[in-house]
Amino acid sequence: MIKKTTVLLCGLLLGAISHAQATDSASSATQQEAVAEFNWFEYIGKDRQFASELPDRTYQNPILPGFYPDPSITRKGEDYYLVNSSFAYTPGLPVLHSKNLVDWQLVGHALTSENAIDFTGLELSRGIFAPTIRYHDGLFYIITTAVDAGGNFIITAKDPAGPWSSPIWLPEVGGIDPDLFFDDNGKAYIAHNDAPPEAPLYDGHRAIWLWEYDVKQQKVKAGSRRLLINGGTDIAEQPVWIEGPHIYHINGWYYLTCAQGGTSVNHSQVVFRTRSLTEEFVPYQHNPILTQKDLPREKQVVSATGHADFIQTAEGDWWSVFLATRPYQDDHYNTGRETFLLPVHWEDEWPHILPPGETVPLTPRRPAIAPDINTKQPLARNFSWRDEFSGRRLNPLWISVKDFARDWVSLSNGVLQLHPQTASLRDLGGVSYLGRRQQHQRFTARTQLAMPASDTAAGLAVYQNETHHYQLLLSENITNDAKAYQVSLYKVSPTGKALVAQKTIDKPASAVVLQVDVDGSKAYFSYQQDGQNTPLGEAQDARHLSTASAGGFVGATVGMMALQADNQSTH
């Protein structure tokens, strides 16, 4: 009896263990099924502006088309390095390299999972604002602002490709857009935008302040704060949004150049100078030295110029990088604020970038420093870019939203896997999305994906921000017919997520291609199954993806997304 009971208990115990293992396996299988698999992604730029051959010894403006705003530049020997604002995209602070100021290649990011800053809960246009990059005494420095995520900080690196240090926070330094200036006498200074010394006299009244910075102690010197500019070039005229300061010491003069007028159509670049940082900065009587605001709107092929930084080549020539936009149809632009390049000319010991009333040239003469460079990852002109996901690491051009960890991404045997999270692109975090910058007003983007499991919806997104984007999704048919799938097009706006068009695929297939074609103000969505292309819905309004419609400071991205199928209609 005892033996029978023991055998029975052992059997029950083994049964329970087997049942638990089976349950765990089933749970594991379910978790494994919650994945979207993409075989490749392709982006093809088709801008008419970039279609013709460049005249001899010229280059194309913008040098960095697409969402590359607030450029800052430095030089080490014959190598130039540039960094841009990244806001709440991750990884943050893209670092680019060039030998000739014209052809640039992404070499890394200064903010990665190793020195991440928490962007949880931020809107997309918060986070990292206008950085400054400088090379000094064997070390690269980036100083910038994490808006609503800690304030101003400095990071350093021996190699600009990384790794970069953990943030050195500057709690005393308020405001945004800090600049780091190393003087010839061994001293260092931080200039930045902040509130004026008194209550603001008008909307947009700001000021530029200066601190002395102790490089060894890695902190500002107590009591060193002083006012440089109150309001702007002439406070009696109520100039607005003085920001983006940079200081240079050239031929006995200290020059301070700033953006003024806001980053829209009134954006401009102004300059001041003084013989000593302890004396008053005097504004140039012929300011601004760069703007397009004085041109009729119909002639503004390029608009919103400003946020300039200067660089001197080894040959002694001066150049400026700055942001600008390429608008269409009354100042709409989906490509965001882009990086442009122009020479700096000196007259009466004052810098000039562009004479008043002149349009920004799109094909200026090249710098006389280096030949063309064939980059592996083209960032300018028309190009075709295809990712087969064949490497062990994700291509650095892919960016995501507020998430440095990316534990929802995996690469396996030439397949990109996205594991859907609980949130989607309408939320402020926890979204499974990988995008690349829209760099052309006219482009095609497409991706091939396997048929997702019943608990997953996946596809293509054209994304401006949380409240302005399109989703083209593939999922199982809501009738739960295992042999049927549906392709759905959604438009996300401030009022919610609306179904625009939907079609059922009647037979199973191994893979489907989802595609978007954008031509200025129009976006066309389609899908391809068994080699046949099928449009989905009518032409959509691409102005919905523009900064003029969505607000904020970012440009549109296009890429791949995954979400839980039961959240498809609401997320």
Residue 376: inside a domain = no
Q: Are residues 273 and 410 in the same domain?
A: no
Task: Give the pLDDT mean for 16-45.
Answer: 61
Residue 10: inside a domain = no
pLDDT tens-digit readout, 401-413? 999 999 999 999 9
Q: Are residues 402 and 523 in the same domain?
A: yes
Residue 550 has pLDDT above 50, yes or no: yes
Tell which of 337, 352, 367 closes a domain: 352
| Strands of the sheet with 151-157, listed across from one edge | 127-136, 139-147, 151-157, 168-169
**What does the pLDDT read at residue 370?**
66
State what percent of residues in the chain have pLDDT above 90. 81
CA nearest to 463, candidates 451, 445, 449, 485:
445
For residue 164, what is the domain's CATH number?
2.115.10.20
Q: What is the DSSP string of 231-254?
A: SSS-GGG-----EEEEEEEETTEE
Answer yes or no: 78 catalytic.
no
Q: Are residues 472 and 552 in the same domain?
A: yes
Q: Which domain holds residue 243?
A: 72-352
Answer yes or no: 70 catalytic.
yes
Q: Are residues 278 and 404 in the same domain?
A: no
Q: Are residues 399 and 327 in the same domain?
A: no
**What does the pLDDT read at residue 570?**
63
Q: How far is CA 70 from the centre of its chain?
A: 10
Tell which of 306, 334, 352 closes a domain: 352
Q: Are residues 338 and 388 in the same domain?
A: no
* Catalytic residue, candidates 123, 179, 243, 403: 243
C-alpha dist (Å) from residue 11 to 15, 17, 193, 195? 6, 10, 74, 76
Residue 52: inside a domain = no
Residue 555: inside a domain = yes
Q: How far apart are CA 418 and CA 415, in angstroms?
A: 10
Residue 513: inside a domain = yes
For the chain, helix (H) and strand (E) counts, in that order, are 2, 40
pLDDT tens-digit readout, 371-424? 667 666 778 899 999 999 998 999 999 999 999 999 999 999 999 999 998 878
**What does the pLDDT read at residue 154?**
98
**What does the pLDDT read at residue 455?**
84
Residue 368: inside a domain = no
State what percent of residues in the chain have pLDDT above 70. 90
Residue 173: inside a domain = yes
Q: How far apart are CA 426 and CA 437, in angstroms?
A: 19
Using left for φ > 0, alpha for ψ between -120 and 50, and beta otherwise, residue 404 falls in alpha
Question: 477 or 524: which carries more pLDDT confidence?
Answer: 524
Q: Are residues 90 and 198 in the same domain?
A: yes
Residue 14 has pLDDT above 90, yes or no: no
Residue 348: inside a domain = yes
Q: Are residues 483 and 418 in the same domain?
A: yes
**Apex CA 363: angle with CA 360 and CA 366, to 5°?**
110
Question: 88 with 123: CB under 8 angstroms?
Answer: yes
Q: What's the full length of the chain, in residues?
A: 571
Tell which of 352, 373, 405 closes a domain: 352
CA nearest to 562, candidates 407, 476, 437, 452:
452
pLDDT tens-digit readout, 108-167? 999 999 999 999 999 999 999 999 999 999 999 999 999 999 999 999 999 999 999 999
Q: How many domains does the chain have?
A: 2
Q: Residue 355, class by beta-carbon neighbours within 10 Å (0-12 exposed, 13-18 middle, 19+ buried)?
A: exposed
For residue 451, what is the domain's CATH number?
2.60.120.200
Q: Does pTM surpass 0.85?
A: yes
Task: Give the pLDDT mean for 525-538.
Answer: 93
**What does the pLDDT read at residue 429?**
77
Q: Are residues 331 and 460 in the same domain?
A: no
* Catalytic residue, candidates 37, 70, 466, 476: 70
Task: Give the pLDDT mean for 97-101.
Answer: 96
Q: How far apart are CA 228 and CA 152, in angstroms?
A: 19
Q: Are residues 284 and 335 in the same domain?
A: yes
Q: Are residues 331 and 400 in the same domain?
A: no
Q: Are residues 339 and 397 in the same domain?
A: no
Q: How many Å is the Cα radius of gyration of the chain? A: 27
Q: How far apart are CA 46 and CA 354, in angstroms?
A: 29
CA nearest to 269, candidates 223, 320, 214, 311:
320
Task: Give the pLDDT mean for 227-244.
Answer: 98
